[in-house]
Amino acid sequence: MTETAIAAPSHRKVIIASSLGTVFEWYDFYLYGLLATIISAQFFSGVNDTTAFILALGAFAAGFAVRPFGALVFGRVGDLVGRKYTFLVTMGLMGLSTFAVGLLPSYTSIGVAAPLLLVGLRLLQGLALGGEYGGAAIYVAEHAPEGKRGFYTSFIQTTATLGLFAALLVVIGLRSWMGEEAFADWGWRVPFLLSAILLGVSLWIRLQLAESPVYQAMKEEGETSKAPLSEAFGRWGNLKWVLVALLGAVAGQAVVWYTGQFYALFYLEKVLKVDGGTANILIAIALAIGTPFFLVFGWLSDRIGRKPIIMSGLALAALTYFPLFGALTGAANPALADAQARAPVVVSTALDECSVQFDPIGKTAFDTNGCDIAKSALAKAGVPYTDGSLSDAPGLARVSIGTRTVHIRPGSGTDELTAALAEAGYPARADPARIDKPMVVAILTALVLLVTMVYGPIAALLVELFSARIRYTAMSLPYHIGNGWFGGFLPTIAFAMVAATGDIYAGLWYPVGVALLSLVVGLLFLPETFRRSVHHRTEDAN
């Protein structure tokens, strides 16, 4: 096949059409994450606040859980039928599922059926997204001239962030126009309902595209795979690269992506008590500053390779997450940082009396002993604490707040604890006047830049790693296991770790650990791919 044949379609049209459609799909998918705090109140109001938020994040993660299955289903279709028609189907499924979320009755209206229906729609969204990303990335890569695949596919890499950015703008605009009370009551539905319009625009854009030239040539020559699943995963020559891609690149990329964008947002809202509107605006500014660097690192990967950039991003993330989030606490809620430094909270109890502060079915009252009462109150107030020495009084919790000590036992209530926390300077909310907004934006931008390093070149790497016959199937599975499971479950796992330990930084051990795993595996086993052709059709190319 000649270079002329590959370059014949308008590259600009291919990039714009593929990217815009994918932006809209990410907009649909990430609306839920942005509105997790409100959704926890609307659909999980039958449990305590901490559990409700973790369950809301769990429903958010449910969409990620099924992404690998969507990758298997739609990846196979993409290798059997074609790139174009597969991502048309996934787009329709995503748009209709998102629209339906905006129509769901709340928990107060229909009880437990509400969260069950919500999770069902999230599962459909996850299946759709499992087939979307691979198709868009492959479609652009198979049109790109040699030496420019990193740059061309980096436009697809911007779509997840641009979709989040678009969702942020809609949410911020509606919150400002309606006011927080109306938005929390019913206005949150409007962004989901708008997806019907976006679906129509996206489908019209995608219908203008022709099939990928690489796939069309394989089809005409009768070289498409007849059994892409068994060929991709049943032969060690291909399966080993699936495992290397997952553990040596995508898993680490995923946790960096979700830490730098979603976990940072949740951390501002739930831990640092910054109001949702302000948190959204600060994240939006950081995304606007950082997003062009997807293109910068994609372009750079065409010159020095994909691997050095991705591995550097993983190493920097592992080294800087704890200091960056520590600085974020001081900038966004200085009163909390000051109180932690001046009057740290220590809970001392009898051995093995404390429960983990997580109740998935809403039946635990956390009131049978002083430890549970104290830790439940601290978790609800967003106050970090550590465990102290063991108490010799069963049922009693001794809570030290700086130099003051409060004793809590069953039936004693938490009024004295609340007063002591306020006296020590622990704030109920972040004071908007004291938020160092330039510093918060700078820290959030640094987190986004780490995202652009690991995510900008990865589409090109995955496309080049696998043969054209099984590319859609083979690259989609590790991508969606990595981003769907390692990344998608990150907010749920991280906040459960915070709730269990009382340490607001404990959740960071998860992304740091996964990033280090991918760094080691990637340095040892991941090949460099930036000089490979996308036309290879056998595993021998590896």
Q: What mean pLDDT comes out for the span 498-527?
A: 93
Closest CA to 448 of 236, 244, 292, 305: 292
129 shares a domain with 90: yes
Structure tokens at 304: 């020095």
Write down the pLDDT at residue 294.
Answer: 94
370 shares a domain with 498: no
**What pairs with residue 349 in β-bridges?**
397
Choice between 349 and 535, residue whose per-residue pLDDT is larger: 349
Measured between alpha carbons, how far is 254 from 484 in angstroms, rounded to an integer? 8
Of 391, 423, 455, the residue that ends a domain is 423
Closest CA to 160 of 320, 298, 343, 29: 29
Please give the full DSSP string across 312-364, using - where no structure is assigned: HHHHHHHHHHHHHHHHHHHHH-HHHHHHHHHS-EEEEESTT-PPPS--TTS--
Q: Which domain holds residue 118?
A: 3-333+432-541
206 shares a domain with 186: yes
Please say whether the beta carbons of 527 and 542 come within 8 A.
yes
**What pairs with residue 400 in β-bridges?**
346, 405
181 shares a domain with 144: yes
Secondary structure of residue 405 in the 3-state scheme: strand
Residue written as tokens 């990758």? 71
362 shares a domain with 239: no
352 shares a domain with 322: no
355 shares a domain with 276: no
> Can you say whether the dihedral through the CA atoms of 41, 47, 51, 54 is positive or negative?
negative
452 shares a domain with 409: no
Task: State yes or no: pLDDT of 444 exceeds 60.
Answer: yes
Please say whether the beta carbons of 25 and 165 come within 8 A.
no
Please say whether the beta carbons of 297 and 456 come within 8 A.
yes
Please give the full DSSP string across 130-152, using - where no structure is assigned: HHHHHHHHHHHHTTSPTT-HHHH
Largest CA distance in the chain: 82
Structure tokens at 481: 């296991």
Q: What mean pLDDT comes out for the span 52-72?
A: 76
The domain tally of the chain equals: 2
Strands 404-408 and 397-401: antiparallel
**What pairs with residue 397 in β-bridges?**
349, 408
Measured between alpha carbons, how far is 278 from 269 in angstroms, rounded to an integer? 9
Measured between alpha carbons, how far is 223 from 226 in angstroms, rounded to an integer? 9
Write down the pLDDT at residue 167.
Answer: 86
369 shares a domain with 319: no
Structure tokens at 260: 């730098």
Strands 386-387 and 345-349: parallel
Choice between 249 and 208, residue whose per-residue pLDDT is larger: 249
Of 373, 401, 423, the residue that ends a domain is 423
359 shares a domain with 216: no
Please give the full DSSP string across 103-121, using - where no structure is assigned: T---HHHHTTHHHHHHHHH
Choice between 502 and 528, residue whose per-residue pLDDT is larger: 528
Give the pLDDT confidence of 80-109 residue by residue, as tens digits: 777 777 877 888 888 888 889 889 898 888
The angle formed by the CA atoms of residues 292, 295 and 298, to the nearest 5 degrees, is 150
Q: Which of 101-115, 336-350, 357-371 is least confident?
A: 357-371
Distance separating the N- and C-terminal Cα atoms of the chain: 20
Write down the pLDDT at residue 130.
Answer: 79
Choice between 462 and 541, residue whose per-residue pLDDT is larger: 462
CATH of the domain at 31: 1.20.1250.20
344 shares a domain with 328: no
**Which helix (DSSP H) or strand (DSSP E) does residue 386 occupy?**
strand 386-387
Q: What mean pLDDT comes out for the span 57-77?
A: 79
Give the pLDDT confidence of 19-41 residue by residue, as tens digits: 776 787 678 767 777 787 788 78
Of 376, 391, 423, the residue that ends a domain is 423
> Mean pLDDT in the chain?
83
Measured between alpha carbons, how far is 63 from 484 in angstroms, rounded to an integer? 8
Residue written as tokens 């995963």? 233
Strands 397-401 and 345-349: antiparallel
The one-character DSSP state at 391 is P
Q: Binning pLDDT at 50, 70 and 90, where does residue 540 land?
A: very low
Write down the pLDDT at residue 391.
Answer: 64
264 shares a domain with 408: no
Give the pLDDT confidence of 185-230 residue by residue, as tens digits: 889 899 989 888 878 887 887 777 777 777 777 777 776 767 778 8
